[in-house]
Amino acid sequence: MTLLLALLLTLGDDPMAPLLAKLRETAAKSVVAIDVEREADPDGITGGGAVSQHRDYYNRPKGPTSGVIYEDGFVLTSRFNVSGTIRKNGLKVTLWDGRQVPGEFIGSDEQRDIGLVRIDVKGLPVLPRADASAIGQGTFVALLGRSPDRSHATVNVGILSATSRMNKTAVQTDAEMNYGNVGGPLVTLKGELVGVACNIKPDAVWGQSGGVGFACKTAEIDKLLERMKKGEHIPAEKRPFLGIRAGEGNPDVEGIQIVDVMKDSPAEKAGIKKEDVLVELAGMKITDSESLKEALEPRKIGEEVELKVMRKAKEGWQEKKFKLKLEGKAEP
């Protein structure tokens, strides 16, 4: 067997293939598929603007998502995968050997986008942990998930793109991440757990499979594991937000080029439009996203602030002023 591997390494077309084959054989045994049946209409949705606040329900593709055996009897996944009002006995976990068992969503952390599911099965393999000091930007990683028919593991390869994301709680990878494999484990090519894939949601600007994916670090999960086991659902801290998406600057006007205004956001309600350039907020000059952050930080949710934007008209750039009431939003 070893000889065969050695031969493969020297003769094979793709030297990575045997490593990935091994991941599919061994590490994949810790990867589960998660099926969730939700109530058709969650409480409190009466239509209209509420739809955008419950995109988890409306923009969620069909099919199973992924999770990882984190401790004996506990599955860790992306919170998004198990959010919403789940029907009675509506959460099913499919193990590597095809067994389907009921699961119970017991705890979560909104900020880190992680959720804990308990299953009544013991003795499943738990992945070894990667040594955080031995990995860094440029380390090859693989993102494991379960196929749509739940029968086998999926493997997407990439590198660690960054190690300090989401307030240092997550790593970033260019392994393609989408609705199916989010919640699965991000591992080294030796099958050691780096983190749990998270933060691919309908409203994430990085979209899916765009080369920007995140995995909550194991050290961060461990910090909250006991609380989640006790049934705690930790809400994300809300921050003041405008509802604009910043572009890459404008050659004519110094400020933030607005490339998108989010639906039902404070910016949209105030009348700010796509293509406007934001130049001032509450008297503070805005030159880039950092200065916007600095200007927003001391403000309170519910506070009214004045915005100055430049809008392109036939006669050239025109200054416009808007007043808006800041709303709170949990930023990832």
C-beta closer to another protein: residue 95 or 200:
200
C-alpha span between 119 and 37 (Å, rounded): 17
Token pair 């994300």: residue: 236
C-beta closer to another protein: residue 97 or 290:
290
Backbone angles phi, psi at 70, to 5 degrees: -95, -40
By rule CB under 8 A, what string of x and - marks binding of each residue 8-27 to another protein? Answer: -x-----xx--x--x-----
C-beta closer to another protein: residue 1 or 40:
1
Answer yes or no whether residue 85 interacts with another protein by CB under 8 A: no
Answer yes or no whether residue 168 interacts with another protein by CB under 8 A: yes
Minimum gap (Å) between residue 118 Cβ and another protein = 31
Q: Which residues of 122-153 are buried (b: 16+ CB within 10 A; e: fewer)?
A: eebeebeebeeeebeeebebbbbbbeeebeeb
Interior angle at CA 280, CA 264 and CA 311, nearest 5: 70
C-beta closer to another protein: residue 33 or 307:
307
C-beta closer to another protein: residue 16 or 50:
16
Backbone angles phi, psi at 291, to 5 degrees: -70, -30
C-beta closer to another protein: residue 16 or 330:
16
Sign of CA dihedral 248, 250, 256, 260: negative
Of these, 47, 138, 283, 316, which contacts another protein (CB under 8 A)?
138
SS3 per-residue string spanning 56-91: HHHCCCCCCEEEEEEECCEEEEEHHHHCCCEEEEEE
Residues 278-307 that bind another protein (CB under 8 A): 287-290, 293
C-beta closer to another protein: residue 206 or 322:
206
C-alpha span between 212 and 250 (Å, rounded): 25
Answer yes or no whether residue 5 interacts with another protein by CB under 8 A: yes
With a CB cutoff of 8 Å and minimum separation 6, the contacts of 88 are none
Of these, 106, 159, 234, 282, which contacts another protein (CB under 8 A)?
159
C-beta closer to another protein: residue 293 or 323:
293
Q: Which contacts of 43-48 are long-range, i.e. CB under 8 A and separated by 24 or more positions?
A: 43/85
Of these, 24, 51, 206, 236, which contacts another protein (CB under 8 A)?
206
Stretch that binds another protein, among 31-39, 110-118, 153-161, 307-315 (CB under 8 A): 153-161
Minimum gap (Å) between residue 321 Cβ and another protein = 23
Answer yes or no whether residue 7 interacts with another protein by CB under 8 A: no
Scanning the chain, the segments in alpha helix (DSSP H) are 2-11, 17-25, 50-53, 55-58, 79-82, 218-229, 266-270, 289-296
| Cα–Cα distance list, 320 to 125, 159, 265, 272, 287 (Å) | 61, 45, 19, 9, 17
Contact (Cβ atoms closer than 8 angstroms) between residue 66 and residue 28: no
Answer yes or no whether residue 258 interacts with another protein by CB under 8 A: no
Answer yes or no whether residue 100 interacts with another protein by CB under 8 A: no
C-beta closer to another protein: residue 6 or 219:
6
Answer yes or no whether residue 164 interacts with another protein by CB under 8 A: yes
The contact set with another protein (CB under 8 A) reads 1-2, 5-6, 9, 15-16, 19, 22, 136-140, 158-165, 168, 172, 174, 189-190, 205-208, 210-212, 246-252, 254, 256-257, 259-260, 287-290, 293
